[in-house]
Structure 1
Amino acid sequence: MKLNVALIQMDIQLGLPEENIKKAVQRIEEAAKLNADIVVLPELWTTGYDLERLIEIGDANGDSLKKLMSGLARQHRINIIAGSVANKTDKGIFNTLYAFNRRGEQIGEYSKLHLIRLMQEEKFIAPGSKKGNFMLENIPAAGVICYDIRFPEWIRAHVLNGAALLFVPAEWPAQRLSHWRNLLMTRAIENQCYVIACNRIGRDNNNAFAGHSIIIDPWGDVIAEADGENETLLFAEIDTDLVDEVRSRIPIFEDRRPEHY
């Protein structure tokens, strides 16, 4: 199946959800007009890493975000991987990704498992505990978030559950751009899946961000990549049949020896 994917690489105004939401809605509508099948947003795109204020500006149970994204998905008949948001619950604040199909139905939810101490995330955000697998257009998919890509065993767990498409919303810093690109290409190669990674640009009070949103095919080849400076709508066509082709030509999953690992 061929699908048009659009990544919304955007700057994020720290702690200003209304401004960020307005921009994202405009971009989603633009992508829909250009016949995107799937739109992807970055990590914590409503608030940025305004961690100390998340209890004030986060979204209670993700309800506002879910209502908005469901409506946009249904209105434009488009699948939306709604990045991640600060999801306030009675068990704490989670960094949570939501996914919606063309009918506006929520098809996926994943709260970030690995919290990055370099950004003091663990002091303000609770870790998730469940995998991010879901079905999109009858294709097995999964979502993980940013720092998760440094844990190959976590990515492999999703692929062993069937994932052919891996979505990665992120706020990845510019000083580790080479890690971003190399890790994502490696995850695509070793798991023989599409990696569709949406990063932010710009800076906050503590970090500059890398941009370079990227779409990588199951061979590990980059089929589209944004620059590190500009807000953009990055488009590419993917062919999900390529996943089965690559996996049949180099059958690594059949050759695994997990009893020895």
Structure 2
Amino acid sequence: MKKIKVSLLQLDVIFGNPDENYHKVRKYIEKAAQENPDVIVLPEMWNTGYSLENLAEIADEDGKKTKALLSDLAKKLTVNIVGGSVAIKKEGNFYNSSYVFNRTGSLISEYQKVHLFGLMNEDKFISAGATKNQFELDDIKAAGVICYDIRFPEWERKLMSEGQQILFVSAQWPTKRIAQWETLLRARAIENQAFVVAVNRVGEAPKDSFNGHSLVINPLGEILVEGTPGVEGIFTCEFDLDDLSKIRGDIPVFKDRRPELY
């Protein structure tokens, strides 16, 4: 059996206050590590929230502070970290960026959010990325996306079509659309025959409310763990990747694709 244990950090993000958010993330990662997970997963834009008008003052310069923190913790705690995403500034532009570190503290993937969300004015302040986010954690092939990305199934199919077994999702998904969050994530799990590990923040921001509902979903679309709505905390789940071979063998959707038509 190839089991993997994941800890989801369903956190309240303090709007526009990086210092407090970095302190909180350090504390929660150290606490989560006490449960001996293989992977710790963070939410979206956890360093600043969507304080977009203030990015010139508060965004992380080239992600240096974020990378130093997560690398240090991954190495010290011997744990893989899917670092959610943070606001960074790089070469005159701002990005919604994700970093993944392995157990040795090495940066193994960097991703800038590809699909920017106009309803939160993300596209007015942030530049879009143009690369895939694929990586291996303990020899397990995985991919990662950020929030609005999950509304684009062709993006997930592209990411998951090379044998990826887990899709990691980090988000700030508002309470008013939380039913869509669950439906979309379950669909992404079923259609890609993969485990989905999705972390959403909780708490209040000036224009939105967030209630978490972080999820781990199996390839059949069944929920294995659910973050308590509205509650900040650590939610841990273990699942067996060997389940994938039977599911993918019974219904070989990747083999039966007709990409020449679409």
Name the TM-score, length of structure 1 as normaliser: 0.98
Tell me the equivalent position of 2:98. 97
Matched residues, percent identical?
48
What is the CA-CA distance between 1:237 and the residue it aligns to?
Answer: 0.1
Tell me the equivalent position of 1:188. 189
Tell me the equivalent position of 1:221. 222
Distance 2:59 2:194 in 1: 33
Distance 1:107 1:238 in 2: 23
What is the CA-CA distance between 1:249 and the residue it aligns to?
Answer: 1.7
- Give CA-to-partner distance per residue, 1:13-60, whole Å, 9 cap, x none: 101111111111111111111111100000000100000111110111
Distance 1:81 1:70 in 2: 11
Distance 1:260 1:34 in 2: 47
- Give CA-to-partner distance per residue, 1:82-141, whole Å, 9 cap, x none: 110112100511100100000001111111000000000001000000011111111111
Q: How many residues align?
A: 261
Could you tell me whether the CA contact under 8 Å between 1:133 and 1:161 is conserved in 2? no
Tell me the equivalent position of 1:202. 203
Tell me the equivalent position of 1:158. 159
What is the CA-CA distance between 1:210 and the residue it aligns to?
Answer: 2.9
Distance 1:186 1:206 in 2: 28
What is the CA-CA distance between 1:162 and the residue it aligns to?
Answer: 2.7
Distance 1:250 1:40 in 2: 30
Counterpart amino acid of residue 20 in structure 1 = N
1:173 paired with 2:174, answer yes
Distance 1:161 1:205 in 2: 40
What is the CA-CA distance between 1:259 and the residue it aligns to?
Answer: 1.9
Which residues in structure 2 correspond to 1:22-33 (within 5 Å)?
Answer: 22-33=23-34
Counterpart amino acid of residue 26 in structure 1 = K
Tell me the equivalent position of 2:259. 258
Could you tell me whether the CA contact under 8 Å between 2:210 and 2:230 is conserved in 1? no
Could you tell me whether the CA contact under 8 Å between 1:133 and 1:143 is conserved in 2? yes
Counterpart amino acid of residue 244 in structure 1 = S
Distance 2:129 2:160 in 1: 18
What is the CA-CA distance between 1:188 and the residue it aligns to?
Answer: 0.1
Runs of 4+ in 1 over 6 A off after TM superposition: none
Could you tell me whether the CA contact under 8 Å between 1:115 and 1:147 is conserved in 2? yes
Distance 2:206 2:198 in 1: 24
- Give CA-to-partner distance per residue, 1:156-213, whole Å, 9 cap, x none: 0001133211110000000001100000000000000111000000110000013100
Instruction: Point out where structure 2 has 5 or more consecutive residues left out of the alignment.
Output: none
Tell me the equivalent position of 1:124. 125
Tell me the equivalent position of 2:80. 79
Instruction: Point out where structure 1 has 5 or more consecutive residues left out of the alignment.
Output: none
What is the CA-CA distance between 1:244 and the residue it aligns to?
Answer: 2.2
Distance 2:245 2:146 in 1: 25
RMSD across aligned C-alpha pairs, in angstroms?
Answer: 0.9
Could you tell me whether the CA contact under 8 Å between 1:175 and 1:210 is conserved in 2? no
